[in-house]
Structure formats: structure tokens, C-alpha cells
Amino acid sequence: MEHTVSDPLVDDYLRRLDVAAAGLPPDRREDLLGGIREHIDAAIASGEVTDEASLRALLDRIGEPEEIVAAAAEPGDVQPWAPPPAPTVYYRRPGMGLEIAAVLLLTLGSLLFVVGWLAGIVMVWSSRRWTLAEKLVATLVFPGGPGLVLWLSAVAVGQTMCTTTSGDGASTDVVETCTSTGFSLPAPFGALAVLLWLVLPLVVAGVLLHRARRRADSEPPVPVYPATRSRWGGLEIAAVLLLGVGGFLVPVVAPLAGLFCAWMSSQWTRAEKWVATAIASMGLMIPVLGLAFAALARTS
Amino acid sequence: MEPGEAQNPLTQLRRGVIEYCVLALLTEEELYGFDLVKRLGESESLVTSEGTIYPLLSRLRRVGWVTTTWRESESGPPRRYYAITRAGQHALAGFTSEWMRFRDSVDGLLGTGDGHGAHGV
């Protein structure tokens, strides 16, 4: 018994047919290819194919692959030349990762001196869910965020210096000069300003978040493909561990490694990666905070 | 299907009719694909591309009008033989009577029925 014929011309023809039949259900595609192959084998076995010219003539009579696949199309099929149907798609509400991270950084994150607030501002300006005016308000109310006030008051308390100097020669006047290198305002304004500086950013943050939510809800639902539904691979778990507790155990290095893992992830969205970045920037500040508190404890 | 191809009325007609021609050939004897194609090819203008018979055979098998059996051959790989089923015979009988009425109507309108063979089959 002869084996199935293998000839470059035949192989090439069957390959073209296979490609053309990509839109058919697998069993019919298989059936079709099997039938044509059988036909070619039988023609060769019958002795009608003797040389390349007669083989080409045979393939010509069988017809163009696209034509054969078109004949295999049935009502209800996808078009035979269309790609296979896409996998089932799920939809979810548009995510707000970027906006939530931004607002958290502008308020709570501002406790990390200027870094957290700056990161928040970068996120605010990269969001498409806020208008120019809203972005300006977020930036200007108030630069540095509520955290900066707390920092500056702490520094001011620690560093107000008073020097006492005697007047020159003849005079017995004594001049006391107090200089504060930190933040200080005349007392009546000071209390009000501090209150505003603490409260207004929170109000602005609330309004911004509300508006972003409303705009996100008016966007079309986001498709979630089955392949990307799981958000927890090894890389993602590593990122969370490094970002979450790593900063306490291995300062600076662990948050940076976590940040790297997060941005390498193919399963997290961009917004989720920004949240990871926000957390990493807080993790990076842990040693700085530690030093600052140590310094404060020493001065007081 | 190519748009140009759809414009040829015989292409559509051929597609609809040819599977009954296959059934008719199988009422005489069981045939394997290659032979079936050769036999159809003997009637000119029925088959344009031999390969298009195979999707049709596949469809006939799926609707249960034909069955297939593998048989060893003397001069090559095993071959798939096609046989008509009882359901296939019913379908063919139904089509045959409809075809005769259809053919007579068309012949009557086109004036092609009086020439020859309109009542001869």
C-alpha cells in the first residue's frame, strides 16, 4: 500500500487550503482537508498524474482553496475567510484606579512631604476624567497638600530661634530678635489658614472624586477577556508583598523591586499600576519618615 | 462568496441542485470521492471546481443523507466510500418531483420545453 503522497506542490496547496478554511468549525475543516487529500491521493493512484504539469492540472481542476471554502460556507457560519470567533467577552464598570490613587496621594499622600503630593498631581494631570479647570483647582488648592502644613508647623516649632543682642556701646537697650525658618503666620490668620489648608483640599478631593465617578459611569463598559480575568499571578503577588511589607524590611530596595514587578505585570491595568506606584512612593518614604521623627524627638 | 460570483445565476442554482445529483449517482452504487467527482465531471457544466464537491459530501453526511465507510484500496491509501441512506432517498424523491414541476415551469416560460426531452425523462 502506498503512503499519502507528499510533494511540495501538494503540500503547498493543502497549506493554502488549511489557511483559507480557518473560519470553518474544526471538524468540518478537518473533513474538508481529509477529503481533498484523499482526492489527490486517488488521482495519483489512478495513474493520471505522471509529471509536474499533470499535477498542476489536477490541482487546477480541484480549484482555488478560497473557492472550495466558499462552497463549504453554510447559513449561520462566520464568513469562511473571517478569523475564528473571538472568545466570550465580559464587561466591567470602568475602573477609577488612577483617580482614586491621585486623590489619596493629594490628601493622605501629602504627608510624605512633597513627593506624595507631586505624584498625585502627575496623576491628576494624566487623567482624562477631569477638566482643565478641575485640574488647576486640584493643583492650586493647595500646593503641597494638607501634609505640607503639618510638616512646616512641625519644623517651625522646632526651629524658631531667638537671639538676644545688646545695643551698641552707649545704649542699654536690649533687642530680642526671633527668626523662624519655618512656617509661621500672625496668630489670628495662622489658625484660620491652617484650618483652610487642612480642610479645603479634602473638600476639593471629595468633589473631584465624585465628578470622576460620574464621568467614568458614562463611559462604555470595559471588556475583560478571559485570558486577562485573573489578576493574580506570581508577579502580582510578589509586587503586593514587596510593596506592602517590603518597605519595612528592606528599605528602598524592596519598594523599588515591587514597583518593577507591578509595571512588568501583563495582568494589571495601567491604572492599577499607578496605584502600585503610589504605594511604592509611600514605601520609599518610610526611612525618610523614620529619620524625620527621630530628629523631631531629639529637638523636643 | 465573491460578489462577482453571486451575479452568475447558475452558480447559485448549481449549488442547490448538485447535491441531489450526488444522491442520484449513489442510488446506483457506492462510490468514493474521486470516482464520484469523475462521474459528475462527465456531465458538463455541473461542476466547475472538483474540490467544491467535498464540502458538499461533508454536509450530506452531517444531515444523514449519506454514510461513509473506509475500505482498503489496491492502489493507494484506504478510501472513504459513500452510500445513500433511507433519509437520503426520501430527500431525493422529494426533490425529483419538485424539480420536474420547476423545470416544466421554467421551460414553459422560456419556451425551451417544446424542443426535446421535456416530457421524455
Chain B residues with CB-CB distance to A64 below 8 A: 49
Q: What's the rounded mean pLDDT across residues B21-50?
A: 87
| pLDDT-wise least confident of A150-159, A232-241, B77-86 | A150-159
Q: Do A67 and B49 touch (CB under 8 A)?
A: yes
Banded model confidence at residue B95, pLDDT cuts 50, 70, 90: very high
> What pLDDT is attached to residue B27?
94
Burial A132-153 (b: 16+ CB within 10 A, else e): eebbebbeebbebbbbbbbbbb
Chain B residues with CB-CB distance to A36 below 8 A: 51, 54
Banded model confidence at residue A80, pLDDT cuts 50, 70, 90: very low
Burial A178-194 (b: 16+ CB within 10 A, else e): eeeeebeeeeeeeeeeb
CA distance B114 to chain A (A): 34
Q: How far apart are CA A130 and CA B67, in angstroms?
A: 67
> What pLDDT is attached to residue B46?
77
Banded model confidence at residue A86, pLDDT cuts 50, 70, 90: low
CA distance B96 to chain A (A): 23
Per-residue cell: A116:
506624595
Chain A residues with CB-CB distance to B80 below 8 A: 35, 38
Assess contact for B40 and B53: CB atoms under 8 A: yes
> What pLDDT is attached to residue A299?
75
Q: How far apart are CA A35 and CA B82, in angstroms?
A: 12
Residues of chain A contacting B, Cβ within 8 Å: 1-4, 28, 31-32, 35-36, 38-39, 41-46, 61-65, 67-74
Q: How far apart are CA B25 and CA B23, in angstroms?
A: 5
CA angle in degrees (0–180, nearest 5) for B72-B58-B67: 55
Nearest to A127 by CA among A203, A213, A190: A213
In tens, the pLDDT along A150-181 reads 777 666 655 555 555 555 555 555 555 555 54
Q: Do A36 and B51 touch (CB under 8 A)?
A: yes
Where is pLDDT greater, at A113 or B14?
Answer: B14
**How many CB atoms are closer than 10 A to CB B109?**
9
> What pLDDT is attached to residue A128?
87
- The mean pLDDT of chain B is 83
Burial B64-76 (b: 16+ CB within 10 A, else e): ebbebeeeebeeb
Q: How far apart are CA A83 and CA A88, in angstroms?
A: 15
| pLDDT-wise least confident of A177-181, A291-295, B67-71, B73-77 | A177-181
Most trustworthy range by pLDDT among A143-147, A184-188, A221-225, A267-271? A267-271
Tell me what ipTM this predicted complex has: 0.80
Where is pLDDT greater, at A261 or A152?
Answer: A261
Nearest to A141 by CA among A92, A199, A101: A199
Q: Do B77 and A72 touch (CB under 8 A)?
A: no
Q: Do A38 and B80 touch (CB under 8 A)?
A: yes
Most trustworthy range by pLDDT among A4-18, A129-143, A243-257, B56-70? B56-70
Residue type, B96: T
Q: Is B30 on the interface with A (CB under 8 A)?
A: no
> What pLDDT is attached to residue A3?
44
**How many CB atoms are closer than 10 A to CB A78?**
14
CA distance B80 to chain A (A): 8
Domains of chain B: 3-85 (1.10.10.10)
**How many CB atoms are closer than 10 A to CB A224?**
14
Nearest CA in chain B to A68: B52
> What pLDDT is attached to residue A254?
79
Where is pLDDT greater, at B21 or A101?
Answer: B21
Q: What are phi and psi of A98, to 5 degrees?
A: -60, -45
> What pLDDT is attached to residue B115?
53
Q: Do A1 and B48 touch (CB under 8 A)?
A: no
Q: Is the pLDDT confidence value at A186 over 60?
A: no
Banded model confidence at residue A77, pLDDT cuts 50, 70, 90: low
Nearest to A63 by CA among A41, A36, A81, A43: A36
Banded model confidence at residue A59, pLDDT cuts 50, 70, 90: very high
> What pLDDT is attached to residue B100?
93
Q: Does the CA dihedral A12-A15-A20-A24 come out positive or negative?
A: positive
Q: What's the rounded mean pLDDT across residues A193-220?
A: 84
Question: Strand locations in A71-157, DSSP E?
Answer: 90-92
Q: Do A45 and B75 touch (CB under 8 A)?
A: yes
Residues 98-117 of B with CB under 8 A from A: none
Where is pLDDT greater, at A234 or A51?
Answer: A51
Q: Do A72 and B55 touch (CB under 8 A)?
A: yes
